[in-house]
Amino acid sequence: MNETLSAVLALCRARLAEAGLADAATDARVLVAGLLDLSPTELLLRSDRIVDAADRARIEAALARRIAREPVHRILGARDFYGVRLTLSPETLEPRPDTEILVEAMLLPARQLIARKGSARLLDLGTGTGAIALALLKEIPELQAVGVDLSSGALETARRNADLNDVAERFSTVESRWFDRLVGRFDIIVSNPPYITRDVIAELDPDVRRYDPILALDGGPDGLDAYRAIAGGIDNFLEEDGWIGLEIGFDQKQTVTALFSDAGYTLTDAFRDYGGQDRVLVFTRKNP
């Protein structure tokens, strides 16, 4: 029997809530809207639309995946991030809204550099979907970017996303562990590296530990392996007047600041996430 959109939504909410999902109503709305290619407004205005058997079957399959704790946007295959549309793959971390704070933090430094130089080069270490680099490219036409990742699958996804967002001509990729295969210097270096302490990963929410790649999560025994690698190698790749922007774990501000201070960099700004936790650090070279 065919049902109205509002009835299907109510059923989805109930099924997800029964499965113990904390935000069942939002998950139901996003899933159904995405599967039926409806905007949030259309979802409300067309509540009496009849959902046919084929669409109902697709919704049922998606519900089963969400009940198994697969994240909503992985089921849909894409998500929006700071004005860009990003496809996802098993090799990529799903970008979080808090990472948009890193994009915001680097807009002013990038524009200041471009005002002086006319253009700027950006390096995104551990680019994944390309989220940070592509969002900045979309905002700043004079910017060129290189995305680095150890995963060839992640780089394929990043290139696909560059095409999708019409910035492919200004975006290139390098398969490398941090700086190992890089050449040249950059005006801005950004990274949202793996920063979760290894023995905590097993305790993460199932949405994260089952579906985000371990390569993008595991920060080593103390969560700082990536920051050590970046701080230890960055000097040969950052321009003298360059900027560094890093996402960090909520309890890592002091330790990451100390690592970069020892490497010759000073903390120029720090930003909190939407929950009030330390999340983004910005560095420049110390004055001689």
- What are the binding residues for S-adenosyl-L-methionine? 126-130, 149, 178, 192
| Binding-site residue set | 126-130, 149, 178, 192-195
Report residue 122 as tokens. Answer: 């950006």
d(CA 201, CA 223): 11
d(CA 253, CA 108): 21
d(CA 219, CA 249): 10
| Binding-site residue set for substrate | 192-195
Contact status, residue 102 vs residue 131, Cβ threshold 8 Å = no
Contact status, residue 206 vs residue 69, Cβ threshold 8 Å = yes
